[in-house]
Amino acid sequence: MELNDESGAVIPREKGAARFWEVLDRDFIKLLTAGLLFFVSLIPLGAVILLSVETGDVPMLFLGGALGGMIAAPQLTALLDLILRSLRDQSFLWWQTYCVGWKRNLRSSMLPGAVTGILTVLDLFAFWKMRPEQIGVGMLFFFAVSAILIAALSFLVMIQIPIMELGIRAMFRNAEILLLRFLPRCTAAAIVMIGYSMVCYLFFPASLIFLMLLNSWFPILLAVMILYKPLNQVFEIEERLRSLQGKSADQKKE
């Protein structure tokens, strides 16, 4: 949505930190609440990782990763939907919009959520199961690269769900193309999310104070802002969300 002044001229959007604070000033409570719902839905996935590390039960790791990913996926896509709407300066009633997005993307998010959940827990499980004598510069570099690739690929898959209806193969194919085409931005977005998670883990339980306010919306909003421009060029996000908004309005009239 374009903003116009009194003369009808288009007002250019803020950039960088100014844009972040503009979004925050307008939609903080909406993002905070939606982020909290997603954060809570991650608890089963975290429990699976901890139990699998303790027991070494690999089958449980696969099953739990898939189920945990499926549980968290609808909340993530609903949060992404709100963030994308906020970044195009669309005014919305947060709970109504959240529920509509959640219901619309429920089925389509399940399988991608299961796959990305398995990839995530496998990477973390392999890292935590390493013995201290195995950890060297080369191994740390390998795990850092794999974590960045998995985070970036998973994010690029999930962000397509609120925008368009595609099969899982097409979503992963698009994600691979986007990752290669916009590698610096994708890497930066992944580092933001991984870095935030690492800080929260390393400083736990002191980090609980920050998690109360920042939970999951903060790193995801930053990641979307980093990738918004190229994603909008490729997927025409603003046009697609405008189309979805029109369909919702037509359904209400009916």
118-153 pLDDT per residue, tens: 998 888 887 777 666 666 777 788 888 999 999 999
The pLDDT-based confidence of 242 (bands split at 50, 70, 90) is: low
Q: What is the pTM of this model?
A: 0.86
129: CB partners within 8 A, 6+ apart: 53, 56
What's the rounded mean pLDDT across residues 51-67? 84
- Residue-wise pLDDT for 212-240, tens only, equals 889 999 999 999 999 998 888 887 766 66
The model's confidence at residue 49, banded by pLDDT at 50, 70 and 90, is: confident
Sign of CA dihedral 121, 124, 128, 129: positive
d(CA 162, CA 168): 14
Peptide bond into 205 cis (omega under 30): yes
**Mean of pLDDT values over 27-31:** 94
Nearest to 3 by CA among 16, 22, 20, 21: 22
Question: Of 211, 3, 154, which Cα lies nearest the Cα of 90?
Answer: 3
Percent with pLDDT over 90 in the chain: 52
The residue that leads in pLDDT, 157 or 128, is 157
User: For 199-208, what is each residue's pLDDT tens digit?
Assistant: 998 898 888 8
Please report the sign of the dihedral spanned by the C-alpha atoms of residue 160, residue 161, residue 164, residue 168: positive
Q: Taking Cα atoms as reference points, which of 240, 97, 225, 95 lies closest to residue 160?
A: 240
58: number of Cβ within 10 Å: 11
**pLDDT 10s digits, 100-117:** 999 999 999 999 999 999
Can you spell out the DSSP letters for 33-77? HHHHHHHHHTHHHHHHHHHHHHH--HHHHHHHHHHHHHHHHHHHH
Residue with tokens 């890497």: 187
Q: How far apart are CA 86 and CA 15, in angstroms?
A: 14
